[in-house]
Structure 1
Amino acid sequence: MPTDLTIRTYETAPGLGRHQVLDPRSLAYRRPYDGQPLRATAWEPRLPVLDQRNLIAQGVHTADAYGLESDTDALASCTGNAATALLSILLTPEQAHAAALNLADAAMAQHYAIGLYADATACDQWSQYTWPTQDVGSSGLGVAKAMRNRGLIDQYGHATTAEELCALLQTGPVLLGMPWHAAFSDPDPDGFIDADPAWADSPLEGGHEVCVTAIEAVAFDDGTLMPEHSILRFRQSWGSAWGDHGDGRLRLSTYLALRDQADVIQPRIDSWSTR
């Protein structure tokens, strides 16, 4: 296991299970912003909104699938859920079918997400625990490695600035790992998790992973990016009743406020670019 990892762990809870793990060798594959135009861009998941918090009601039974004594009704599997939403965009329907990802059946897609989560915990070699033995959460880096191990992606790159994040979204969705404040769990009717200007004062509930699917607005002032007026949309994994039909929004300035505890990873395939 690398000894120079930066690891920040959070208390796990149903629906919240992301930890921040930064590897300097992986961060070397950061994609610096080179001044290309930044425009509003959207990528739509090809599967229903997933829900990691109400598994039994969806017909997702983990006991039989994982040899457990009883079914688990909720998991800290946000990394697997975010990655599954991303794969539904990245892969063609034919590729998704070949990978056993059912885009039409929410329960089957949720099973797939749980499997990715299990793989991610195994890839998180900094932790001695794995699912299904322990519901310990995982990292964006771990689930990116899990996707690559399965042959679903060939590479992944990072962003560490607002401009780099916006540039990545020009070419595809990204995984965003972030600290999750209590105010974020109660978005406004448009799905904005940062509608309350005092969100930073609300308690930290844990770490969370989402799939950012769009930059809906990109604002500039004399050529300078204006984060407070630039809007990101993400696919949540808490069911379609949450936020805006299962999606959330945040201002780019909120990402910047959280950046020290955030990580942005974009899984890709070789046909997009060469790492």
Structure 2
Amino acid sequence: MPTDLTIHTYDTPPHLGRQMVLDPRSLAYRRPYDGQPLRATEWEPRIPVLDQQNLIAQGIYTSRDYGLDDDVDALSSCTGNAGTALLSILLSKEQATGAGLDTDDATAAEHYAIGLYADATERDQWQDANWPSQDVGSSGLGIAKVLRDRGLIDQYGHATTAEELCTLLQTGPALMGLPWFSSFSEPDASGFVDADPAWASSPLEGGHEVCVTALEAVAVEDGVLQPDRTVLRFVNSWGAAWADHGSGRLSLSTYLALRAEVDVVQPRLDGARP
């Protein structure tokens, strides 16, 4: 295991579960902003909105399906859920089926996400425990490594600035891990999690992973990106009833405010993009 990892761990309530792990070697795979025009983009998952909560209602019994002593109704599997949503965009329906991901069945897709989460906890070699022995959470980096191990992606890149994040979204969706404040759990009618200007004063609930699926609005003045008026949309993993049909929004300025505790990873399939 590399000894120079940056690791920031959070509590893992079952509706969250992201841990921040940064590997300095990954910085070689940043995709720097080169001044290209930034345009609004949108990437649509091929699977229903997943739900890492309400597992029993979905017919997922962890005692039966994963050998646990008791059934749990939620898992800290947001990284696996976000990674599954992203993978459903990268792969065609036929490719997804070949990879074991049923894009038509929400319960089957949730099982896939749980399996991805389990493998990521194994790949996160910085922690001693893994799921299903313990619901320890995982990292976006761990998910990217598992997808590459499975041969489902060619590579993964990173963004560390607002411009780099917008550049990544020109070519595909991205995984974003971020600290999750209680205010974020109560988005406004348009799905903005940061609508309350005092969101940063609300309690920190833990770390969360989402799949950023759209650069919904881009504001540029005199060649300078305007974060307050640039909007990201992400698909969450709390069911379709949450926020805007399961998706939330935040301004790029919120990303900047949290950047020290945010990691953006973009798994890529450049060689055989459907």
Q: TM-score of the superposition, structure 1-length normalised?
A: 0.98
Residues 202 and 259 of structure 1, relative CA distance in 2, 3 Å threshold: same
1:142 aligns with 2:130: no
The residue identity in structure 1 corresponding to 2:59 is: G
C-alpha RMSD over aligned residues: 1.0
DSSP 3-state at the match of 2:157: strand
1:267 aligns with 2:267: yes
Tell me, yes or no, if the aligned pair for 2:156 and 2:268 is still in contact at 8 Å: yes
Q: Look up the match of 1:35.
A: 35
Work out the CA distance in 1 between the residues paired with 2:210 and 2:60.
21
Shift of 1:272: 6.9
Shift of 1:70: 2.1
The residue identity in structure 1 corresponding to 2:194 is: D
Q: Look up the match of 1:228.
A: 228
The residue identity in structure 2 corresponding to 1:99 is: A
Report the more deviating stretch, 257-266 or 19-28.
19-28
DSSP 3-state at the match of 1:95: helix
Q: Look up the match of 1:253.
A: 253
The residue identity in structure 2 corresponding to 1:59 is: G
Tell me, yes or no, if the aligned pair for 2:154 and 2:271 is still in contact at 8 Å: no
Report the more deviating stretch, 243-252 or 63-72.
63-72
Shift of 1:175: 0.1
Task: Summarize the alignment of residues 9-48 of structure 1 with structure 2, pairs less than 5 Å apart.
Answer: 9-48=9-48
The residue identity in structure 1 corresponding to 2:163 is: E
The residue identity in structure 1 corresponding to 2:113 is: A
Q: Look up the match of 1:239.
A: 239
Work out the CA distance in 2 between the residues paired with 1:246 and 1:53.
13
Q: Look up the match of 1:71.
A: 71
Work out the CA distance in 2 between the residues paired with 1:230 and 1:104.
33
Q: Look up the match of 2:54.
A: 54
DSSP 3-state at the match of 1:138: coil
Q: Look up the match of 1:165.
A: 165
DSSP 3-state at the match of 1:233: strand
Structure 1 regions of 5+ residues with no counterpart? none
Work out the CA distance in 2 between the residues paired with 1:271 and 1:251.
32
DSSP 3-state at the match of 2:79: helix
Task: Summarize the alignment of residues 186-205 of structure 1 with structure 2, pairs less than 5 Å apart.
Answer: 186-205=186-205
Post-superposition, which runs of at least 4 consecutive aligned residues in structure 1 deviate over 6 A? Answer: none
Q: Look up the match of 1:95.
A: 95
DSSP 3-state at the match of 2:19: strand
The residue identity in structure 2 corresponding to 1:32 is: P
Q: Look up the match of 1:112.
A: 112
Work out the CA distance in 1 between the residues paired with 2:26 and 2:60.
34
The residue identity in structure 1 corresponding to 2:14 is: P
Q: TM-score of the superposition, structure 2-length normalised?
A: 0.98
